[in-house]
Structures are given as structure tokens and as C-alpha cells.
Amino acid sequence: MSQLFFWCYPWDLEDEGFDAALGSLAGEIGVDAVSIYATCQDIRQIRPRAPAEQRMFCCGAAAHFQPVAASYAHGGIRPHPATWLKSRNPLERIAAAAERHKLGLRIRADCCHGAALAQRHPHAACVNVFGDRRDDRLCPSQPEVREYVSNLVADLAGHYPAETIELEAVDFGPPVRADGYSDASLAFDDAAGRLLSWCFCSACRTRSLEAGVDAEEARLAIIRHLEACMRPGRPRAASLEELVAAEPVLAEYRRMRVEAVASLLLVVRPRSNCRLLLHYPVEAMPGTADAAALGAQCDGFILPFEGGEPSRSAREVAAAAGGLDRIEASMRCYPPLVEDGPTLVSNVHQITQAPYAAVGFENYGTAPAECLEWVRQAVRYARRESTT
């Protein structure tokens, strides 16, 4: 039977009461485990079940637990606790309550995405093709970043009884979108958006040199494509695959980027005594070769599912990763992606029958009460079908 679990923000559980919330998740809803966000990017959350005066929760990118200082003694980058915590450590209390209610504990960590860390450590941030530093993304090629991610995993795995650590944003970031600019004169095609997220910082250039890849030639090839996008009468929109096929140096540089992330996972994995899963960046790293390289350094992937049927890219990733039993499904449990209870029941049934390793529901604090009932029905049906 596939594991069924709920992603939860710690402040939602604290506001409801740890035992009340986790007792309901274990008994009434019936999931096997909870996954708690330990670090995450900027949050602007609307909470439909909270009292009117608490409907909005806003917080900058931060840690939502109390880091153990000794875990980061030999690194320049360390997580900074969110201001709402004060001196509290809800993750510690959640772990104890989860054990009381016989729920498995998973911990989710957003590693390289967040304005606070990138602005505190600009020398470790990604640098785009024009030499501009990103103010929201650390580069996984940077030695300090790699040490930080390793220390973060060691801190979480060493001080909490987690069965699984979920790593998110250990890559270079998703494609840059044209609507991210207030006055976009650049007519983005698929390749342009992806290439603008490629990093050319000093660490990436050093890694390229060691791999025998000409980073400057790759950078100039990208600029040529971006300049073509800005001219009228340009050819039809190109895909990244088409451009990479036409520019071999870009294929080499892309391979170097994948190897940078894979080597980071190789460094991180020994620091954890539990399963290590990767929220697979489908948009940032499409392709089965990428999945195979990354899958060799972790215990599996978590992929977003918008329905009961996986997308083609999800099926390709599953095949490259070594099978469906190494894939977990992330699934929204409320509109607009799920319109009603029967749809969610059907979606979860298809995923668990496939069988994928697990289904995670997003997100406990943002799900209306009616949608929690949908999850309860889906969990109950999936369990009944697994025993017949």
C-alpha cells in the first residue's frame, strides 16, 4: 500500500494545537505521516479554517525550527529562524506529538531558494548570462552553499526522528518568465526562459573548466539567442532541445549543471540517516538523462500530479529513476485543480494502484474543511481497495 501523508506548515499545527491537529490527521483523516516544512521561501498564505483575524499568514524566507548552532560551526551560511518562532521550536513538539499519534515524520527543506539568504550572501548567489546576481537564489555549485545544504540536512536528520528528508530547490531554479518583468521587451520562447536561469558564477565557471566545457562560448551562444528573440521577424519559438541540438556547447554546459546538482546530493546523502527524496525540478531539468543522474544519488523523487494520470514528463522521470516505486506524487486536494471529492478519490486511487510509492496532499493549512473530508474519503477508499 502506498504511503499517504499531508504536508503541513508548523504554524497551522501550532494554532490548532499539536495534539488536536495531528490526532485528527491520524485518526479522523487517516494518513500515515506528516511532512513538515523546516525551511521554505516567502510565504503569503490564506488560511480558510483560521479565525477571521488570522486568515493571512505572511513570512519571508526563513527556517521554521531552531537550528543547532554547532551544526553550522564550520560554514559561513546558516539558516535564520523566522521571527514568528521567537524562542519556540514547534518542530520539536510536532515530532513528539507525531510519535504519540503513531504518525511518521517527514521533513521538507527548501535549500537554495530564498531572498534572505541570497541577499545576506551575494557572493554565493546565482549569476545570469549578463553577469547580474540573482537576489533570490543560491548557486548549488558554490562551495559555501554545498556546505550549508549538507549542514542543514545533518541538523534536521540528527536532531529529529524523521523517516524522510525531502530536499527542494537544490537546483539552479525554474525558467525565467516574461511576466516577471514589469516592461518585458523580450519575447520569450521556451529556450530563452530556460537559458536565463542558467548560472555563470565563478564556481560554475570553475566547474566548467574542470569538465573541459567552454563556459564563455556557452554564454555567448545564449546571448546570441536572446538577441535574436529581441529582433522582429525571428523564427518560430525554439525549444531548449532544438537549441541544444544546434549548439553542442550548450549540451555540454547543461550536462555540467546536472552533474553539479548530482554531486551536491552525493555530498549530502551521507549526512542523513534516513531516506533522502528530491522534489524533482521538472521545469528546470527536463529529460530522462537528468533523472537518471540525480536518481542515482537519492532514494527517489517527488513529482507534482494534477490528476490521476501522470504527465508524459512524469512518466519519463519515473522510467529513468528506476520504476514507479521510487516516485511519490504531490497532489493538491482543493479547487481549482480538484473540483470535488469523487475526483480526488479517483485520482488517489489511480496513483496508489499504479503503484507509486506515496501520495502527499498539499496543504493542510490551506485546505478548506470540506476538502479535508475529501481527503478522508480518498484515504479510506485507497486503503479498502488495497486489501481486496
pLDDT digits (tens, 9 = 90+) for 296-353: 999 999 998 876 666 666 777 878 888 888 999 999 999 998 999 999 999 999 888 8
Q: Which pLDDT does position 289 carry in this prediction?
A: 66
Binned at pLDDT 50, 70 and 90, residue 187 comes out as low
HEC letters along 28-58: HHCCCEEEEEEEECCEEEECCCCCHHHCEEE
- Grid cell, residue 130, equals 549578463
CA 336 to chain centre: 21
Q: Which pLDDT does position 182 carry in this prediction?
A: 46
pLDDT in tens, 130-141: 999 999 999 999
Q: Which pLDDT does position 343 carry in this prediction?
A: 94
pLDDT in tens, 10-52: 999 999 999 999 999 999 999 999 999 999 999 999 999 999 9
CATH code for the domain defined by 3-175+274-386: 3.20.20.80
> Is the pLDDT reported for residue 241 higher than 90?
no
More confident residue, 166 or 245: 166
What's the distance, Cα to Cα, between the start and end of the chain in Å? 11
Report the C-alpha gap between 120 and 58 in whole angstroms: 20
- Grid cell, residue 157, equals 536528520
**Contact yes or no for 45/73 (Cβ under 8 A):** no
Look-up: residue for cell 500500500? 1
